[in-house]
């Protein structure tokens, strides 16, 4: 089996393999009886999210981030695709991993993941992450390849929230500015478990580039609307990405959980700012109060996914060598040579010239 970068001639085989994989997954989901939501709607939301392993994305990148597994007899038996998130050149997000139903396709999964990580290291990428449904069969494959679970995300969806169903609350929000970013980062550190924050946002710059798909790095520079609540200091943040032709509006939320009344008022204010039409929000397991509040206001949990990450580059602190003492320099010409024989003769003369000794002269 040969693992290589895909070329333009391979796109037709990749697309056919992908469609077969999607149709098989769709058939399995339709026959499942333990899901609490309609499967057709779940699939529609999952494809619109464009952040999971089963996302339908244009297969136009034939660089190192699109690799295929090829067998001399069966041809293309699998492919893996990754992309660089905005503002994060040293991180790859794995979008697709599809293999055929044959035995060669089964064994190609591990080879594809390994080769993708090796290609990433060769170009300076040291962080990889992927999002998978909780019961996806590929979860165990990624865990065996060194990935660990960072968090669990809940996907909340609302087809439409009519104006008459939106609670009216006193105005609390204001437009966020770029100078609010450090305060929003502190809010993130207060509302996020330390093990997640140390990986996802070890510094302000890294957090800006990666949090919420890089929306913080583009605050005030794109169509996403950002809001904050001050009481005093920033205690809540919300971002609303307007809908497009293929995606619903996306809502991101952060709020301190000490005051339940304030949290409810913040959510009511945010709902008043949402555009008409379907709205999608992805919240993590530690945002359970926000999830419950949105459910009470018409949102439904349409799925859950794992966030798996792998870090290949580690920072090592190297101790500096002990500073040497500065040598003392002696100015040239201060040290002079002394004739030792003459000195000994003078000392001998002085010792024999004392009073009362033979050879001494009276003064």
Domain end (from 126, 153, 180): 153
Q: Judging by beta carbons within 10 Å of its beta carbon (0-12, 13-18, 19+), is residue 107 exposed, middle or buried?
A: middle
Do 58 and 141 lie in one domain? The reply is yes
In three-state secondary structure terms, 148 is strand
Q: What percent of the chain has pLDDT over 70?
A: 71
Distance between CA atoms of residues 220 and 177, nearest Å: 7
pLDDT digits (tens, 9 = 90+) for 82-129: 888 766 667 888 888 888 888 888 889 999 999 999 999 988 888 898
pLDDT digits (tens, 9 = 90+) for 3-42: 888 877 877 888 788 777 766 655 554 434 444 444 445 5
How many structural domains comprise the chain?
2
Distance between CA atoms of residues 278 and 238, nearest Å: 17
| 284: CATH | 3.40.630.30
Domain membership of residue 135 (yes or no) is yes
Q: What percent of the chain has pLDDT over 90?
A: 27
Q: What is the model's pLDDT at position 34?
A: 42
pLDDT digits (tens, 9 = 90+) for 51-70: 454 444 445 444 458 888 88
Q: What is the model's pLDDT at position 86?
A: 64
Domain end (from 129, 153, 177): 153
Region 275-280 average pLDDT? 87
Cβ of 182: how many Cβ atoms within 10 Å?
A: 12
Do 187 and 206 lie in one domain? The reply is yes
pLDDT digits (tens, 9 = 90+) for 279-328: 889 999 999 999 999 999 889 888 888 999 999 876 556 666 655 566 65
Do 118 and 173 lie in one domain? The reply is no
Instruction: Domain of residue 92: give its range.
Output: 2-153
Region 159-188 average pLDDT? 83
Q: What is the model's pLDDT at position 326?
A: 61
Q: What is the model's pLDDT at position 330?
A: 54
What is the pairing mode between strands 91-99 and 75-83? antiparallel
Q: What is the model's pLDDT at position 149?
A: 94
| Contact present, 25 and 46 (Cβ < 8 Å) | no
For the record, the structure tokens of 325 come out as 């003492």
For the record, the structure tokens of 59 come out as 């297969």
Do 94 and 175 lie in one domain? The reply is no
Residue 229: is its pLDDT beyond 70? yes
- Residue with token string 């969806």: 157
For the record, the structure tokens of 322 come out as 């002990």
Torsion of CA 199, 202, 204, 210, to 10 degrees: -20
Q: What is the model's pLDDT at position 30?
A: 45
In three-state secondary structure terms, 238 is strand
Q: What is the model's pLDDT at position 66?
A: 86
Torsion of CA 14, 81, 43, 155, to 10 degrees: 180
Residue 50 — pLDDT band, cuts 50, 70, 90? Answer: very low
| Contact present, 126 and 119 (Cβ < 8 Å) | no
Beta-strand runs (E) in the chain: 2-5, 66-71, 75-83, 91-99, 127-133, 148-158, 174-175, 225-230, 234-241, 249-255, 279-284, 300-311
Do 253 and 288 lie in one domain? The reply is yes
Distance between CA atoms of residues 251 and 272, nearest Å: 12
Q: What is the b/e burial string over 192-214, where b = at least 16 CB atoms within 10 angstroms of the residue's CB?
A: beeebbebbbeeeebbbbbbbbe
| Contact present, 287 and 247 (Cβ < 8 Å) | no
Domain membership of residue 263 (yes or no) is yes
Domain end (from 153, 180, 207): 153
Domain membership of residue 362 (yes or no) is no
Q: How far is CA 73 from CA 1, 70, 103, 348, in A?
A: 10, 9, 13, 109
Do 138 and 244 lie in one domain? The reply is no
Do 145 and 223 lie in one domain? The reply is no
Residue 214 — pLDDT band, cuts 50, 70, 90? Answer: confident
> What is the rounded average pLDDT for all residues in the chain?
78
């Amino acid at each position: 089996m040969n693992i290589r970068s895909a070329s333009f001639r391979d796109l037709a085989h990749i697309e056919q393999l992908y469609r077969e994989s999607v149709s098989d997954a769709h058939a399995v989901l339709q026959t499942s009886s333990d899901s609490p939501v309609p499967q057709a709607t779940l699939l529609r939301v999952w494809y619109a999210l464009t952040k999971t392993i089963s996302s339908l994305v244009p297969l136009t990148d034939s660089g190192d981030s699109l690799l295929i597994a090829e067998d001399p007899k069966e041809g293309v038996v699998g492919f893996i695709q990754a992309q660089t998130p905005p503002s994060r050149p040293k991180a790859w997000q794995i979008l697709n991993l599809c293999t055929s139903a044959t035995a060669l396709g089964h064994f190609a999964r591990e080879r594809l993941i390994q080769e993708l990580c090796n290609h990433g290291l060769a170009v300076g990428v040291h962080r990889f992450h992927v999002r998978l449904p909780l019961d996806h069969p590929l979860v165990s494959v990624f865990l065996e390849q060194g990935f660990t679970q960072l968090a669990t995300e809940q996907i909340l969806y609302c087809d439409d929230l009519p104006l008459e169903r939106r609670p009216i609350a006193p105005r609390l929000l204001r437009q966020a500015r770029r100078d609010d970013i450090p305060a929003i980062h502190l809010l993130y550190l207060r509302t996020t478990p330390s093990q997640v924050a140390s990986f996802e946002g070890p510094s302000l710059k890294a957090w800006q580039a990666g949090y919420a798909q890089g929306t913080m790095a583009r605050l005030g520079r794109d169509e996403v609307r950002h809001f904050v609540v001050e009481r005093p200091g920033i205690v809540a943040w919300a971002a609303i990405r307007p809908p497009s032709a293929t995606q619903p509006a996306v809502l991101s939320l952060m709020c301190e959980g000490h005051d339940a009344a304030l949290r409810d008022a913040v959510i009511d204010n945010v709902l008043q700012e949402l555009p008409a039409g379907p709205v999608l929000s992805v919240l993590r397991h530690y945002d359970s109060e926000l999830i419950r509040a949105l459910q009470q206001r018409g949102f439904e949990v349409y799925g859950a996914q794992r966030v798996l990450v792998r870090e290949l580059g580690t920072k090592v602190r190297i101790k500096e060598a002990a500073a040497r003492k500065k040598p003392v320099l002696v100015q040239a010409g201060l040290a002079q040579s002394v004739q030792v024989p003459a000195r000994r003769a003078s000392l001998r003369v002085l010792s024999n010239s004392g009073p009362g000794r033979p050879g001494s002269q009276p003064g």
